[in-house]
Amino acid sequence: MPQTTSAPLMTVTGSTLVIAPVPRRRAARAPGPYGRLFALPGTRAFTAGNLIARLPMGMFGISAVMMIAGQRGSYALAGAVTATGLAATALVAPWTARLVDRYGQARIAVPATVIAVLGSVALILCVRTQAPAWTLFACYAATATTPNIGGMSRARWTHLLRESPAAHHTAMSFEQAADELCYMCGPVVAAFLCSAVFPEAGTLTAAALLLIGMLLFTSQRATEPPVSAPGQGTSPLRAVRPLLVLFVPLGLLFGSMEVTSIAHLDARGLGAATGLVLALQAAGSCAAGLLYGAFRPRSLRTCLIALTAALTLPWAAAATGSLPLLAAALLLAGMATAPTMVTAMSRIHAVTPEGRLNEGMTLAVTAILAGIALGSAAAGTLIDHLGPTTPYALPAAAAILALIVSQTVRLSGTSQVP
């Protein structure tokens, strides 16, 4: 058998000893926290379905408003219809989540999604055919069966990473960034489709994406968490109730910030820049969420203090009347939002009884939606009485309230998964 030879490490030339350099092997680069996360079998597939199904969450509301207002000529009717859908979701979503935990994601999420998609299609038909106004309310209320895709995705990560708190923190940070990305891109896509294609295009596209994404997501059965046995675990409501009190002011700051920004920019003739400015806020939160996932989680108290400080910046910037300063302030405010939401949501995971995780997270989302509704209404009232600048104090006040609540109910410890 022929032998292979390699260059000698030392050679002698005359009386000179020459040491040949040893070729260096390039060290394999260790994957980062997100690389390790998506190296797990099945995670890329269910995440792809999750993102496709999640994008419509930022599309349905604005699509419905533009479609109804464009065809019926009434923003009041459009707003009332979407508000009814929000109220219906707050009532129905926890029950849907409970069924998902009890019978499995695929068995419940697919039929629930089909009902929601049929509601969207029926809404389109009723708008097109000039059906009575009450039919619009009924059709949009049917979309309340839409499963909490973000909650189901987080439940999968929690099941897969139950023995690795650090990796779980990274996964929750990714999920928060995905939320921000979809709520940033969704309205832009919806507005383009409704204005550039036809008024119903936004709702139709959102319904199709929801169904396709949910089918892809639920087809990944290997990563689906096990169902809870009958009677397993107590209701998560008692365990998460202190946290729900925290999520309401967090929702309040989101709702008030958005409404105040829209009114402030419109009052200064800068309405065309509203989408870009709000997108900067969401982009800051998305980037901060991804960055936060690569580092050790902080305490909830620390995150809330940083959030409170950051939310004073838009108020100060708005007082100057400078658009660049306001945009920069909202970007920084958004960057403080994601770590707080990741840490608070991880506390939901920590206290929710086993087998009821999706229901627990859906209750948290419901509390956020309630806070958003309160924040929007409060900001609108303050704008009418005090002008479009002073209400920027409301998000900062909501953050202070959240900090006080977190201290009162002793939730400020570092988030860990049990």
Q: Mean pLDDT of residues grouped by 10 in the chain (418 residues)?
A: 49 51 56 84 91 89 82 78 82 88 90 95 92 91 90 89 86 86 80 84 93 94 80 69 87 84 80 75 85 81 92 90 90 89 84 80 85 82 85 91 82 40
Helices marked H in 193-235: 201-218
Which letter, b or e, does each residue of 201-236 get, where b requires 16 or more Cβ atoms within 10 Å of its Cβ? Answer: bbbbbbbebbbebbbbbbebeebbbebbeeeebeeb
**End-to-end Cα, the chain, rounded Å:** 59
> What domains appear along the chain, each with residue ranges and CATH number?
45-225 (1.20.1250), 238-418 (1.20.1250.20)
Report the pLDDT value the prediction gives residue 417, as an integer from 0 to 100. 35
Report the pLDDT value the prediction gives residue 208, as an integer from 0 to 100. 95
Report the pLDDT value the prediction gives residue 26, as an integer from 0 to 100. 55
Residue type, 337: T
> Which residue in 73, 66, 49 sits closest to 187, CA to CA?
66
Report the pLDDT value the prediction gives residue 217, as an integer from 0 to 100. 94
Here the tokens at position 329 are 């302030």
pTM (2 decimals)?
0.75
Report the pLDDT value the prediction gives residue 412, as an integer from 0 to 100. 44
Report the pLDDT value the prediction gives residue 115, as an integer from 0 to 100. 95
Report the pLDDT value the prediction gives residue 183, as an integer from 0 to 100. 77
Residues 343/289, Cβ–Cβ less than 8 Å: no
Report the pLDDT value the prediction gives residue 116, as an integer from 0 to 100. 94
The count of residues in the chain is: 418
For residues 382 and 376, give the distance between their C-alpha atoms in angstroms, rounded to a whole number: 10
> Which residue in 289, 264, 233 sits closest to 33, CA to CA?
289
